[in-house]
Each structure stands twice: as C-alpha cells, then as structure tokens.
C-alpha cells in the first residue's frame, strides 16, 4: 500500500481505487483516521455483508482489480504486487 501512495495520484482521475477493510471490529472513524495518518489518497471502506466471501478474500492484503465491465483483471495476495506491477494494472485500467 505504501508504494501505491506515489503511483495512484497519476491515475486518480481515470481509475477508482478503494482500500477495503477486512476487520469487522474496526469503526469507520478509526479507518478514516488510519488512512489520514498513513497519507493514503484513496478512501478506505467497509465491505457489505458477504462481499469478502464472494470475492474469496480470506486474508489481509488481498488485492483485486476490476475492469469497467466488472470482470476481475488482477488478483494478488499478501506481499504480491510491487509498484511496477500496479503501474501496469493502472495503465491497463485507464487505457
């Protein structure tokens, strides 16, 4: 996530990006405060009931990107998805 802080602003007007919380005990206020503290330029949101299960998100730092048609175009797990890879994903999504 930290490397995305430098990459995402270039694509912010072309690609919607959200960090989705996986801890149901977090409050919205604590999520907002965390995002501000970390300097994240994107919103952090709480998933709706069943959302994480529907997308088979079973652990923290799962990354999923959807194309404009709603089809998953990228999926990576914890520790995957370096800055170069995300730049490519954002390029593909904004193209």
CATH code of the domain covering residue 57: 3.40.30.10
The CA-atom distances, in angstroms, between 17 and each of 34, 62, 64 are: 16, 14, 10
Query: What is the Cα Rg of the chain in Å?
Result: 13
Q: What is the pTM of this model?
A: 0.76
- Cα separation, 17 vs 9, in Å, equals 10
Q: Which domain holds residue 9?
A: 4-94
CB 60 within 8 A of CB 78: yes
CA 21, 1, 67: angle at the middle one, nearest 5? Answer: 75
Helix and strand numbers, DSSP H then E, in the chain: 4, 4
pLDDT tens string for the chain (95 positions)?
777 888 999 999 999 988 888 888 888 899 889 889 999 998 888 888 888 888 888 777 788 889 989 888 988 877 787 889 989 999 999 98
Give me the number of domains the chain comprises: 1
């Amino acid at each position: 996530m930290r490397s995305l802080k430098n990459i995402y602003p270039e694509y912010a007007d072309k690609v919607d990006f959200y960090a989705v919380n996986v801890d149901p005990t977090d409050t919205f206020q604590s999520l907002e405060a965390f995002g501000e503290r970390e300097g994240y330029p994107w919103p952090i949101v709480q998933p709706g009931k069943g959302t994480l299960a529907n997308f088979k998100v079973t652990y923290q730092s799962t990354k999923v990107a959807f194309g404009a048609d709603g089809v998953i175009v990228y999926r990576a797990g914890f520790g995957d998805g370096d800055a170069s890879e995300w730049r490519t994903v954002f390029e593909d999504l904004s193209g």
